Chain A
Amino acid sequence: MELLLWKKLARDKKYLLLIWGTVMAISILMFQLTESIGGLLGYAVMYSAMVNKKQDTVLRLPDVFYFLPVDAAARRKMVGGQFWWSCFLEAVIHTFFATMYLLLTTYYIDITVTRLYWWKPVILFIAIFSITHTDQYYSFLKTTKEGVADLLVLLGLGKFTVCIWALLLPRSMEPVYWALYCCFALLLLSSDIYYLRKYGKHVVSYYADYDFSRELKPFKI
């Protein structure tokens, strides 16, 4: 579908859209890749830290790991399983997001050159829904009482990308979709601002005193 659209844009000499679409597609893939790798590094640091941390620290395993008669080596083994599971999830989630972003990009470009079909808003809805992944976001904040260790990762720079993206939308888009998109962008921004205000200070002060090199040392997975 994408390739057909690209060909169509080239044939119709809509070079601006072609360049914009290509840049967006590359940036989406790069962004997803970076976020994925960043996320994995984050998990690596986080899990290694959690092995020896206690309940009164931000980074921690479930309470049960600290009062069971297991030593750091056993905890590391348990955490190792969680690490690889997280890696798998990261890969799946980011592949999915990348696909959805690309579909969305294609759709926006497509809408400017072809007719609007009934199924296109459905794709738009699915894409928007997948980008927000708000359920994951909320459940994380809910389960870790003071835990906001990888808040910055979860805040998802992608949300800001989507907001900036809105500014780059083709002007020919119908007003109803513009309105929808703006509401969506505002919602994302307001939730980010809310959580940054609530936890940002805590995260900054935590990471300011954090000795990452020490934490990475015992990490042998």
Chain B
Amino acid sequence: MSIEVTELNKKLGSFELKNINLQIPSGYICGLIGENGAGKTTLLKTMMGLYGLDAGSVRLEGKDLENREKEVKNNLGIVMEECLYEDYLTVEGLGKGYGFCYTGFSMEEYKKYTEEFGLSFKQKIKKLSEGMKIRLQFAFALSHHPTIYLMDEPTANLDEEFRKRFWEICSIELERGATILISSHLTEDLDKKADYISYLKNGELLFCKDRERLQESFLLVKGENYQLRNLPKDKVISREEGAFGGSALILPWNSEKLKEYQIETPNLRQLMYYLAKGEKENGTITMEKISKR
């Protein structure tokens, strides 16, 4: 396994990450999804060593983060929504100042990527827009050839053109054998790109599943409101009724009855929406249903 998180616990004020277990094999991309405040950034920051662990372990490429900090971090490429580099540095200063810390860093490649991403070498980080800061971090990460990328909402502030390029480069990195853990609100990207999906809710990892299998684990059924009400309760995650009919996320089962409905495979956005709705309406029952799948 490239990324192995075992029984990770971390308390930050009133928020807590509880017993997080996550395994991602090499060469795959895992999307970390969840509502605002679910703990995505906290989990990523803990995995990159910004927060100390209260309990559990983080092993990256088989090496323990606590005991082999330097080796582990040398293989980590980091792109955060909030740029963590000191903002008084210039683009060039970042490469010169911190590049030497990484054994695989290449200043030539850094220069090449920054040019390609439209960054001026003499520009100060604090003068860059949020999208440009993401580009800068991405360029820096690519230039030291990490085997694991930890990214927090990297595509949120990117324009369409660069977002496309971002995913192209990610594909190349995956082919090279790198592993990517990426948190994103933009589930449309993850719908197409992610191999695994991890869903965080209130500091708990509800599941980490193969995306295709995950989507096959649920069905989105559409029909008249009365039809939706007739669905067996133990199969319904949540339901939404409208003036002209409604839809419901259900657990599939072999039944002729389903032929009465219009059936779709839910996308991640729909999954997130109905899972959260189900959780609000039914509490733990929904979680039990999901865990069993």
Binding site for B on A (CB under 8 A): 54-57, 62-64, 66-71, 74
Contact = CB atoms under 8 A, between A and B. Distances in A.
Interface string B272-288: 00000000000000000
B217 interface: no
B43 to A, nearest CB: 13
Contacts, number: 47
Interface string B232-269: 00000000000000000000000000000000000000
Given A55-B50, A56-B12, A64 B73 contact: no
A142 to B, nearest CB: 13
A209 to B, nearest CB: 15
B49 A66 contact: yes
A154 to B, nearest CB: 22
Interface stretch (B32-40, B78-86, B156-164, B167-175): B78-86
Given A55-B45, A56-B12, A67 B51 contact: no
Interface in B22-72: 45, 48-52, 69-72
Contacts of B98: 64, 68
Nearest to B144: A69
B1 interface: no
B85 A64 contact: yes
Contact of B84 (A56, A67, A70, A71): A67
Given A64-B85, A64-B98, A70 B70 contact: yes
Contacts of A62: 86
A69 B102 contact: yes
Nearest to B85: A64
B76 interface: yes
Interface of B: 12, 45, 48-52, 69-74, 76, 78, 84-86, 98, 101-103
A172 B8 CA distance: 70
A95 to B, nearest CB: 27
Given A67-B76, A68-B98, A70-B101, A54 B49 contact: yes
Given A55-B45, A56-B12, A56-B52, A69 B73 contact: yes
A191 B13 CA distance: 27
23 contacts: A54-B49, A55-B45, A56-B12, A56-B51, A56-B52, A63-B84, A64-B84, A64-B85, A64-B86, A64-B98, A67-B48, A67-B73, A67-B84, A68-B101, A69-B69, A69-B70, A69-B74, A69-B76, A69-B101, A69-B102, A70-B73, A70-B101, A74-B70
A68 B71 CA distance: 10
B74 A63 contact: no
Nearest to B53: A54
A54 B73 contact: no
A67 B78 contact: yes
A55 B101 contact: no
Contacts of A70: 70, 73, 101
Nearest to B54: A56
A211 B74 CA distance: 31
A68 B146 CA distance: 12
B73 to A, nearest CB: 4
Nearest to B51: A56
Contacts of B73: 67-70
A71 B70 CA distance: 6
Contact of A54 (B51, B76, B101, B102): B51
Nearest to B94: A64
A184 B51 CA distance: 42
Nearest to B102: A69
B283 to A, nearest CB: 30
Contacts of B51: 54-56
A70 B100 CA distance: 10
- With a 10 A CB-CB cut-off, give which of A63, A66, A69, A71 has the most chain B CB atoms: A69
Nearest to A52: B52
A69 B102 CA distance: 7
B86 A67 contact: no
B24 to A, nearest CB: 19
Contacts of B52: 54, 56-57
9 smallest beta-carbon distances between A and B, as pairs? A69-B73, A69-B74, A55-B50, A63-B84, A54-B52, A71-B70, A68-B101, A67-B48, A56-B51
A85 B71 CA distance: 30
